[in-house]
Amino acid sequence: MTSAEASVVSAGMHLGTYELLRSLAQGGMADVFLAKATDGRHVAVKVLAAHRSSDVESCALFLDEARLAGHLHHEHIAGVLGADVAGGRHFIAMEYVHGADLREILLAASHAQTSIPYEVSLAIVAQAAAGLDHAHRRCDEHGVPLRLVHRDVSLSNIMVGHDGVVKIVDFGIARSTMSTVHTSPGIVRGKASYMSPEQCMGDRVDHLTDVFALGIVLYELTTGARCFHGKTDFERMLAVVRGDYILPSDLVADSPPELEAIVKRALASDRSQRFPSCAAMIEALERVMAGRGWNGGAQAIQLVMHSLFGDVREPWRAADVLGDDVPSTEVHITIIPAEPTETLRRPRRLAAGTLGDVYDPKNWRGDDVDEAVTRGHRRLRARVVAPRLAA
């Protein structure tokens, strides 16, 4: 690759031993491609954005991610296969997850006018928590705790495979004892709507920040609404610090009280009141599932994925990737486009603190309508004019 070509990376090109097949996702920090290795394996290749390639800190963060993720080996964490530099471009080869992230899943459910069953939502969060718990407990080769904090747990960084297996992805801003780039006091990294109070304040964070973020994910999966919202990042972070979110029972009529108790504990502003670990949160989730007779598990998740996306083949088996004449009866099409779109890039955002702040606003017709339907079969509380805010 020449220096001129290095500024543009696209499908059909080669990076090291990988042939890039198609774009999977695009972001400000990096782009992700489906790629094929020389041994025939299909992987995801994350390429540092061209405008970041000359930035020393961005390159260091990128390499930190590769080193750190290389120490993590768990079924609920997308594995890293290696990192390299080719043609002046930094890239990381990772396990490819054939599925969708939670943001896409919520939008697909919204478009289908259905909802994700509670048992499946809890099963997804429990698997994600298992991956995070492994990361939090991981030590280096000398037995020294890595003290890893993901710092970016969110809907878009939790992938659900069509096989029902959940994977945590993107340790791009994770903090650990291996980090070579350290966030200066007062500097904030992460997504405003998924930060913990201490993260918003620029204070030191630990694994309890990830517990808090996972509580937000649980809230949004089970209510279909944004947890912390605002028109700007400042407003969203202020809502987090103040603990300003509408209780699930004030949004969804059939919200299980024991599930709300888990959400409230995970989202406690006082760190000492949160679950002490992701493992403890898993135990609480499993108690709710057992008490309700919910099976959860990969099979239940797989059934929901099939109901939302159909029988989706691996992208490299589709005719447009292989270039072969595959009979139309053998090609399955998902309702989520292969190429990212602005609609799928982020959920709809409505006014903060309103019952309209849901992923499918078309079913909300105002607070004068009794039991307006949201997320399919779940019903909103009628006429909640001044909803209680969580304590």
Please tell me the least confidently modeled range out of 38-47, 85-94, 215-224, 381-390.
381-390
Angle among Cα 264, 270, 274 to the nearest 5 degrees reads: 50
Sheet with 166-168, side-by-side order of all strands: 99-101, 158-161, 166-168
Q: Kindly list the domain boundaries of the chain, sorted by start residue.
A: 5-95, 98-391
Of the candidates 152, 210, 357, 360, the residue annotated as catalytic is 152
Residue 176 is predicted with a pLDDT of 63
Higher pLDDT, 15 or 210: 210
Contact 116, 286 (CB under 8 A): no
212, pLDDT greater than 90? yes
Residue 379 in tokens: 């019903």
Residue 337 in tokens: 């486009």
Please tell me the least confidently modeled range out of 33-42, 185-194, 210-219, 381-390.
381-390
Could you tell me what percent of the chain has a pLDDT over 90?
47
254 Rama class: left (phi>0) / alpha (psi -120 to 50) / beta:
alpha
Residue 132 is predicted with a pLDDT of 97
Task: Tell me how far apart the terminal alpha carbons of the chain are, to the nearest angstrom.
Answer: 57
| Mean pLDDT, rounded, for 109-123 | 93
Contact 370, 244 (CB under 8 A): no
Which of the listed CATH numbers 3.40.50.620, 3.30.200.20, 3.40.250.10, 3.40.1190.20 matches domain 5-95?
A: 3.30.200.20
Instruction: Convert the pLDDT of each residue in 251-263 to its tens digit.
Output: 998 899 999 999 9
Q: Cα–Cα distance between 352 and 244 in angstroms, integer?
A: 10
Distances (CA, A) of 320 to 83, 123, 188, 315: 28, 34, 42, 9
249, pLDDT greater than 50? yes
Residue 172 is predicted with a pLDDT of 66
pLDDT-based confidence at 9, cuts 50/70/90? confident
| Mean pLDDT, rounded, for 34-48 | 90
Q: Cα–Cα distance between 375 and 113 in angstroms, integer?
A: 6
* CATH, range 98-391: 1.10.510.10
Q: Burial code of 140-165, b = ≥16 C-beta within 10 A, e = fewer?
A: eeeeeebbbbbbbbbbbbbbbbbebb
Higher pLDDT, 272 or 30: 272
Residue 152 falls in the annotated catalytic set: yes
